[in-house]
A = this chain, B = another copy of it.
Amino acid sequence: MQRTLINTIKKQVGKKVKICGFIHTIRDQGNIKFVLVRDTSGTIQTVVTKINKEAFQTAKSLNLESVVEIIGLVKEEGQAPDGIEIEIKEIKILSQAALELPIPVTKKTKNEASEVKRLNFRWLDLRKPEKLLIFKVWTEMEKAFREYWLKHGYIQIHSPKLMSTASESGAEVFEVKYFNRKAYLAQSPQFYKQMAMAAGFEKVFEVGPAFRAEPSFTPRHATEFTGYDAEISFIKSHQDVIKEEEKLLVFALQKIKEKFGKEILKAYRRQLIVPETPFPQVTMKEAKEILKKMKVPSEKQDDLSPEEERKLSKYFKKIKNHEFVFVTEYPIEVRPFYHMRKETGPSVTKSYDLLYNGIEITTGAQREHRYEILKKQAEEKGVNLKSIQNYLNFFKYGCPPHGGMGIGPERMLMKIFNIKSIREVAYLYRGVKRLEP
């Protein structure tokens, strides 16, 4: 007998079905037991009475979160949720849960388990349908990103995470014991997606993990996270990258809203908005002027603090009714050596960050592809040329002008759901003090 998914049972009234899932709740009324069963598609009420001796006996030993297989008759029942229930014919316990659950899965208690405890038992926390929803949306989001990329001729790469030198700054990089030498974990696929440009791939994307040895405890940071990276050739400036990102995000948010907009609204009270194009833009210099007028304290002259990012986003939400804002022309001091500098004002780079409701979700730029200039910029920044010679070589034998972006899907999800911490959207959060489970 084939298994039926719970959300398709409504069409099967009068029929015998087999369902599989977890025990969501149990309501015991002596001679009759109501058992709510949950699978990925939803929940359904099942019912068993004393008349069915064997099944009733089995049902007696059930406890919350055990896994069962039930064969039964689908019936209309006005009192049941959704007006439908399954009269149990046979019930089989596939996996018995321990009596005591370390964190509640289904009971809506006022005092939810602490974050630490929920992270310790992440797989139980993820059983909650509103948590599963995050991963359904993530799956849809990535599907949409890929659909966009593939439709526009991008090639996918899987670049190595083990490198002989640090991929970016050299700071905050994890060291790996690699046979009789050292290796480092890639902080991003930056160098290798640029290599694809030098290889003539023209447009590439990569989805993969990135690692940062940042001793940071903020709710926006993780030591390991997912990167959506893209790089494109034959651009005129970072504005071409910005245009591409706008199209990509609109496409993805449209797809998410179509499929999950209602569920997101119901579970998280968040009305997902598909943004208008073009997104607002502001140069770093202009941003600082706006923030000064708003009397937001400035920590650094050349960069935005988290507080400034939030305030700037709020400002553009208010005056442009837009949840996104591109901050462009970051000063060279706060950007890596490989960002191209603006021809007309060489103290700023052809780069940008994208803020989404107060959080940075992307860094993008046109890259410097001219070998001599790139070398000079590295030297100016005090980068050891020998350590990046393998990278510099990419630009010796012809390389198209190019640029790209790195998008953080976890941070996007935080804003799609209005969830305050990255720990709640990562499948398994990794932080300074967290490597388990």
Contacts and interface: CB of A to CB of B under 8 A. Distances in A.
Interface of A: 3, 5, 20-23, 38-40, 65-67, 69, 94-98, 101-102, 121-124, 126-127, 132, 135-136, 138-139, 142-143, 146, 150, 153-164, 174-179, 181, 183, 185, 192, 195-196, 198-203, 207-209, 211, 213, 215, 223-224, 226, 233-234, 369-370, 390-391, 393-401, 426-428, 430, 432, 435-437
Contacts of A124: 199, 397
A179 B183 CA distance: 16
Contacts of A136: 155
Contacts of A224: 160-162
Quick one: copies of this chain in the complex? 2
Given A40-B201, A397-B101, A138 B162 contact: no
B430 A160 contact: yes
A209 B437 contact: no
Contacts of A142: 156
Nearest to A427: B157
A395 B121 CA distance: 12
Contact of A176 (B174, B203, B390): B174
B437 A226 contact: no
A367 to B, nearest CB: 12
Contacts of A426: 158
Contacts of A428: 159-160, 192, 195
A190 to B, nearest CB: 13
A437 B208 contact: no
Contact of A3 (B139, B146, B208, B234): B234
Contacts of A97: 396-398
B209 A132 contact: no
A67 B399 contact: yes
A218 B253 CA distance: 45
A143 B207 CA distance: 13
A69 B401 CA distance: 11
A208 B189 CA distance: 13
Given A177-B175, A398-B66, A400-B20, A202 B161 contact: no
A158 B427 contact: yes
Contacts of A157: 135, 427
Contacts of A234: 3, 20, 69, 94
Contacts of A162: 174, 211, 223-224, 430, 435
Q: Which 8 A-B pairs have the closest CB atoms?
A: A97-B398, A126-B199, A164-B435, A390-B437, A123-B199, A139-B156, A65-B398, A97-B397
Contact of A215 (B20, B179, B195, B436): B179
Contacts of A208: 208-209
A163 B437 CA distance: 8
Contacts of A98: 396-397
A89 B23 CA distance: 74
A344 B435 CA distance: 39
A40 B234 CA distance: 12
A143 B146 CA distance: 8
Given A123-B195, A200-B38, A200-B40, A95 B174 contact: no
Nearest to A101: B397
A338 to B, nearest CB: 15
A234 to B, nearest CB: 5
A213 to B, nearest CB: 7
A58 B415 CA distance: 51
A155 B142 CA distance: 11
B401 A94 contact: yes
A427 B164 contact: no
A59 B199 CA distance: 22
